Chain A
Amino acid sequence: MRTSRTGRAGQYLALLAYLLFLAFPFLWLISTAFKPPRELGSLHPTWIPEDPTLANFRQAFDEQPLLQAAANSLIAALGAALIAVLLATPMAYVMARHRTRLARAATGWVVVSQAFPLVLVIIPLFLVLKNLRLINSMPGLIMVYVVWALPFALWMLVGYVRAVPPELEEAAAVDGAGRLRTLVSVTAPLLAPGIVATALFAFVTAWNEFFFALVLLKTPEKQTLPVVLTHFIGAEGVADLGPLAAAAFLATLPSLVVFAVIQRRITGGMLTGAVKS
């Protein structure tokens, strides 16, 4: 299957065009974040700031409680990721190993839960959490994030469990290991990378989430980063571009780092169930 030289060049050109399309908004964000007000007001903006400055970052921290917001986001995302994985792993194990009616119902729910618009979920949740006095509170938000992350966590974990050959567990059972012992010392170590990937994925999803946080968190000191970011945009849609860009850039960094870590797993075939390795 030899591709001609012009064909190859065309492919590289097309790939370059794609990468430019995917990268340019982010580059522009970075460029804007480092520009002084004079350049931001200029009618002829440049790609590279002529007079780069960190003033926007300082101003962003002065204007909004970014550190507090980042701490809130971190608590919500860590809590949601840990609890979701803790709850989902045993269930995923059952779903992967036993073909019971329950497992099938759970799979069905994973699919159906994707189709419902969040309004239909958030209104009753809002009322329930209000009765429990969990509006404007981290535990309330974490509970919502856990349930919201479960479908995808289950989906990923079922794939990882299937990748662990049942023969290994049976061999351990033949050697006299009890059921719990088998799970802890045979299955769990083999499953660990998958569990970590799932937790990181749940972390990023919760870190990036906006809608639930917007509805459930009322006071600025409780709000997460994405919600606080929107405060930079004024009532008339007028935004102070420099600090907005600086804050947005900072808010993205943790997700980018985590994604860089799990990147291989994602492109390597998360959607095929990651079964072949």
Chain B
Amino acid sequence: MTSVTEAQRAVRRAPRSRTPRRLADHGAWFLVLPALIPILILSVGPLLYGILLAFTDAQSGRTAPTQWIGGLNFRDLLQDTLFWESFRIGLVWAVGVTVPQFLLALGLALLLNQDLRLRWLARALAIVPWAMPEVVVGVMWRLVYNPDAGILNETIRNLGLGDGRDWLSGLGTALPAVIVVGIWAGMPTTTVALLAGLQNTPRELHEAAAVDGAGAWRRFRTVTWPALKPVALSITALNLIWNFNSFALVYVLTSGGPGGRTRLPMLFAYEEAFRYGQFGYAAAMGCVMVAAISILLAVFLAGRLRGGDEA
């Protein structure tokens, strides 16, 4: 074993020592620049610019020059009860989507990892929601939730459970209804990630545990979960971020209504910026959202990693 790796290392080292280091670096820059320049101009630059805008009174279509106003936007934001209500809804939505989504996707991934017949078909069907434009997902579920022509109320009527209701405009039902759509839309990504993780778990270990008489749950706890955990952590962290920042689904389903009950922070900031033209104030909201999501992730990852050490 060692001799092979050493031989490979020797081969790998050989060409590098021949070409002068600096020349290799020049080549690298030449390859990197075409992507690096647009990234710097259109991604890193705007992000920094956006953070700066949060400290100004920038508005759309104003003739007076934009002024530096320090932390005034943030002070206003602290008093803005509407924003904090929207922020609270955003958190409920993000957690309410991410957690059930993870559990459901884990179940599906475990099933798809089994030797079932028609598995290929199931795998193909399971990623269909991923392929759809978010707007179409929203449209589709509007048709499902439609109070008269929707299949949900019709099913409820057929089961004799009453007349159903107007799910998306009911004050109490709107948020749960959009959360269900959120769960549905994110299932494929989460399932595929978990399935990839499952396929890396050592099969022999599984079989050994089965021979030793470990039940399904024990095998999951002791063999599958430890191997799956890194993937599970990263996909959950990503899902939290994506969900907290999501826009199109809810925009199409309810546009934030009824009475702001589904107005996610992204919708709030979008209206502030592009309906009322308050660029500076909306940028400040964006900054608060980044800060919040960073804290949420830090807490989540710290808690999870520590929990892993104890177990």
Could you tell me which A residues sit within 8 Å of B by CB distance? Answer: 1, 3, 11-12, 14-15, 18-19, 21-26, 28-29, 32, 40-45, 47, 86-88, 90-91, 93-94, 98, 100, 102, 106, 109, 113-125, 127-128, 143-144, 146-147, 150, 154, 166-167, 170, 173, 179, 204, 207-211, 215, 225-227, 229-230, 232-233, 237, 239, 241, 244-245, 248, 251-252, 255-256, 258-260, 263, 266-267, 269-272
Contacts and interface: CB of A to CB of B under 8 A. Distances in A.
Contacts of B77: none
A123 B282 contact: yes
B182 interface: no
Contact of A94 (B28, B126, B136): B28
Interface of B: 8, 11-12, 14-15, 24-25, 27-28, 30-32, 34-36, 38-39, 42-47, 49-51, 53, 58, 104, 107-108, 111-112, 114, 116, 122-137, 139-144, 146, 148-151, 154, 157, 169, 184, 187, 192-193, 195-197, 199-200, 206-207, 210, 231, 238, 241-242, 244-245, 247-248, 251-252, 254-255, 257, 265-266, 269-270, 273-274, 279, 282-283, 285-287, 289-290, 293-294, 297
B53 A124 contact: yes
Contacts of B200: 272
Contacts of B251: 210, 230
B283 A100 contact: no
Given A11-B116, A87-B38, A270-B196, A109 B274 contact: no
A215 B129 contact: no
Top 5 nearest A-B pairs (CB, nearest first) are A120-B286, A90-B31, A259-B131, A208-B133, A124-B49
B141 A25 contact: yes
Contacts of B286: 116-117, 119-120, 123
Contacts of B139: 29, 229, 232-233, 244-245, 248
A119 B293 CA distance: 14
Nearest to A259: B131
B196 A116 contact: no
Contact of B42 (A43, A125, A208, A269): A125
14 contacts: A15-B116, A18-B104, A25-B140, A25-B144, A26-B132, A45-B151, A87-B35, A90-B31, A90-B32, A150-B35, A227-B135, A229-B139, A263-B127, A267-B127
Contacts of B127: 259, 263, 266-267
A116 B269 CA distance: 13
B28 A143 contact: no
B38 A121 contact: no
B25, B111, B125, B139: most-surrounded residue (chain A CB, <10 A):
B139
A1 B206 contact: yes
Given A21-B184, A119-B273, A239-B142, A167 B11 contact: yes
Contact of B283 (A123, A209, A210): A123
Given A147-B42, A248-B139, A270-B192, 15 more contacts: A24-B151, A26-B128, A45-B151, A94-B32, A116-B245, A119-B282, A120-B47, A147-B38, A226-B135, A226-B136, A256-B128, A267-B195, A271-B192, A271-B193, A272-B196
B135 A210 contact: yes
Contacts of B51: 120
A32 B282 CA distance: 39
B253 to A, nearest CB: 10
Contacts of B14: 170
A29 B112 CA distance: 26
B66 to A, nearest CB: 10
Nearest to B241: A115
B4 to A, nearest CB: 12
B38 A23 contact: no
A3 B111 CA distance: 13
Nearest to A260: B124
Contacts of B206: 1
A171 to B, nearest CB: 9
Contacts of B255: 237
A116 B149 contact: no
Contacts of B297: 115
B46 A29 contact: no
Nearest to B52: A124
B47 A255 contact: no
A188 B242 CA distance: 33
A11 B31 contact: no
A122 B128 CA distance: 29
A223 B147 CA distance: 30
Nearest to B244: A117
Contacts of A28: 140, 143-144, 151
Nearest to B25: A100
